[in-house]
Amino acid sequence: MMELLSGILGTDAARILAPIWLVAYGTQIAGFAISAPLQTEKPVSLFSASEHTYPPTTFPITPPPPPRYHPRQIIATTLQTVWSLRLAIFLGSRVFRKGGDARFEKVKRKPGLFLIFWLGQALWIFLIPLGVYGVNALPPELHPPIGLTDMFGVALWFFGISFEAIADAQKSAFSKDPKNHGKFITNGLWRISRHPNYFGEIILWAGMTLFCTPALLKISRSYPERIKPAVAYSTLVSPIFLTYLLNMVSGINILEKMGDKRWGNLKEWKEYKETTPVLVPWIGWWWMNKMKKDVKAAGGTHEKNK
């Protein structure tokens, strides 16, 4: 079996991707087995974010003695671990503080749909950090030196995770204030995007892809027996798949419907949706709509004074 995978993926790629795939699906099935009988979604965060720190994602399974790692491997591993731990702590504390996640209220009561969710989460665990897996699968001597593209990718990652963390902190502070019970947040980063946390998440993984993929493509051209070019190109799917997932499946699509159901009759909610982009922040959008609103209000006042 490994010989077949090695022929398809390349020897190093097969050595690391096969066990990661097995562990991703194995642990998610275990998570489903625990959660389904109890009809609870509380283990979801623990089984998802924390699994990204599984050892093969951090360093090669059998590093050459003495262990040597390329700076790209160390940086990619560190960034992924920081992201994973932050997300696990944030999501875990939120679920246990609120007692659950409204997005799973119906799904968790239907074992078939709940299983599909867990299997989909395994795919997320496997695909999103694909570039990191590839970087850590290859011997350090094959890696090209760190260059400007790598530095830009890391800078993009830091921007993305900072944006996401600030947005999460702002919403947590808003939700904890009893005066805001039953309200929706419109201040801070949530003034320029209805889902700034998701925007930050997409940006940070775009940065990680920029950090990992060019190096993998270069290695695949020189050593196709170690990692096939198709595998290197496949790491580009990370931010694309994440953007689709957050927009159409588990994130924005659900939250927007929940918001419409809860606040759809409120004038403030309608104005918020009209004046704030759904995902990509654009301060100009806010100012433009504010000016339109002011002009409209001024026009109304003028008519009354006639």
Residue 290 CB neighbours (<10 A): 11
Q: Can you tell me the mean pLDDT for 168-181?
A: 92
**Which tokens in the block code for residue 152?**
């830009």
Res. 75 pLDDT band, cuts 50 70 90: very high
- Higher-confidence position of 196 and 17: 196
The CA distance from 266 to 178, in Å, is 20
- What digits encode the pLDDT tens for the residues 212-255? 999 999 999 999 888 888 889 999 999 999 999 899 887 898 89
Mean pLDDT of 48-68: 53
Q: Quick one: pLDDT band at residue 98, thresholds 50, 70, 90?
A: low
Residue 160: band (very low, low, confident or very high) from pLDDT cuts 50, 70, 90: very high
Q: For residues 261 and 236, what is the distance between their CA atoms, to the nearest angstrom?
A: 36
| More confident position, 178 or 11 | 178
Distance CA 124, CA 87 (A): 14
Q: How far apart are CA 136 and CA 128, in angstroms?
A: 15
**Identity of the amino acid at 85:** L
For position 302, what pLDDT does the model report?
A: 46
pLDDT at 171: 94
DSSP result, the chain: -HHHHHHHH-HHHHHHHHHHHHHHHHHHHHHHHHHHHHT--THHHHHHHGGGG-HHHHS-SSPPSSP---HHHHHHHHHHHHHHHHHHHHHHHHHHHHTS-GGGTTGGG-HHHHHHHHHHHHHHHHHTTHHHHHHHHS-GGGSPPP-HHHHHHHHHHHHHHHHHHHHHHHHHHHHHSGGGTT----SGGGGT-S-HHHHHHHHHHHHHHHHHHHHHHHHHHH-TTTS-HHHHHHTTHHHHHHHHIIIIISSHHHHHHHHHHHHTT-HHHHHHHHHS-SSS--HHHHHHHHHHHHHHHHHHHHHHH-
Q: Which two tokens stand for residue 34?
A: 């625990």
Q: What is the mean pLDDT of residues 146-158?
A: 97
Provide the pLDDT for residue 11.
60
Q: Answer whether residue 166 shows pLDDT above 60.
A: yes
Lowest mean per-residue pLDDT among 43-52, 80-89, 178-187, 190-199: 43-52
For residue 159, what pLDDT is reported?
98
- Count of the separate structural domains present in the chain: 1
Summary mean pLDDT of the chain: 81
**Alpha-carbon gap, residue 284 to 276, rounded angstroms:** 10
> Tell me: the pLDDT tens digits for 180-195?
998 999 999 999 999 9
Task: Report the pLDDT value the prediction gives residue 45, as an integer from 0 to 100.
Answer: 60
Say whether pLDDT at 63 is over 70.
no
Range of the domain at 299: 2-305
Q: What is the pLDDT of residue 146?
A: 96
Listed in sequence order, the residues at least 6 apart from 115 whose beta carbon sits closer than 8 Å to its beta carbon are 32, 36
pLDDT tens by residue, 255-271 = 999 999 999 999 999 99
